[in-house]
Amino acid sequence: MKYTSTLLFLIVFSVITLFSDLLMAQTAGNEKQPRILIAYYSLSGNTKKIAQTIQRTIGGDLFEIKTAQSYPTEYRVLVTQAKKEINDGYLPTLKNAVTQIDQYDIVFIGSPNWWGTITPAVSSFLKQANLKGKTVIPFITHGGGGIQNTIQDFTKQCTGCLIDQGSFSSYEGDTIGLTDFLEKLKQIN
């Protein structure tokens, strides 16, 4: 009788453990995937190329930040205007906005490096979008200037955001290293 009770206990315990493990595996497989937004400003197409590569690699919704007024096409005029806007702290009016931004958990934000910082258009986006409590992952394109103050400025301007300090930087839209960067993010998040 004692042997039968012990055997019955072990069988019941094994069955409960097995079902518990199966339930845990099922629950782990049904975890809510984070919603991803990939917002970017791109004048020459370099930042857009990186944004599209991120979307193809990990998914998410693309959102192009657009200013209401176009920038000049002549290079020297553009550079003069961009420098003045940055020095003056000018925030251009945006042509569009993300609807239901609260549905996103992770927001990639791409900006070219203009005069060592993020573009005024991205600054306007950061001011308008409520990104409080969201994980924000900056990515920067440049023509040789590197990251400079862009990540510091993201951090200052994105009130309440969780800025990922290990951002991606691209020389003229080059995607070398982007896949590795995204793989490392998957391991962290």
pLDDT, tens only, 59-85: 999 999 999 999 999 999 999 999 999
Q: What is the pLDDT of residues 28-64, one digit of tens each?
A: 555 678 899 999 999 999 999 999 999 999 999 999 9
CA angle centred on 133, ends 64 and 56, rounded to 5°:
35
Q: Given pLDDT bands bounded at 50, 70 and 90, which one contains residue 189?
A: low
- The larger pLDDT score, comparing residue 169 to residue 6, is at 169
Distance CA 81, CA 44 (A): 16
Q: Given pLDDT bands bounded at 50, 70 and 90, which one contains residue 180?
A: confident
E strands, the chain, are 36-40, 61-64, 106-112, 135-142, 162-163, 168-171
Average pLDDT over residues 140-159: 91
Determine the pLDDT at residue 67: 97
Q: Given pLDDT bands bounded at 50, 70 and 90, which one contains residue 187?
A: low
DSSP symbol at 66 = -
What CATH fold (topology level) applies to the domain 33-188? Rossmann fold (3.40.50)
Q: Locate the domains of the chain by residue range.
A: 1-31, 33-188
Q: What is the pLDDT of residues 85-96, one digit of tens each?
A: 999 999 999 999
Determine the pLDDT at residue 9: 34
Distance CA 171, CA 34 (A): 29
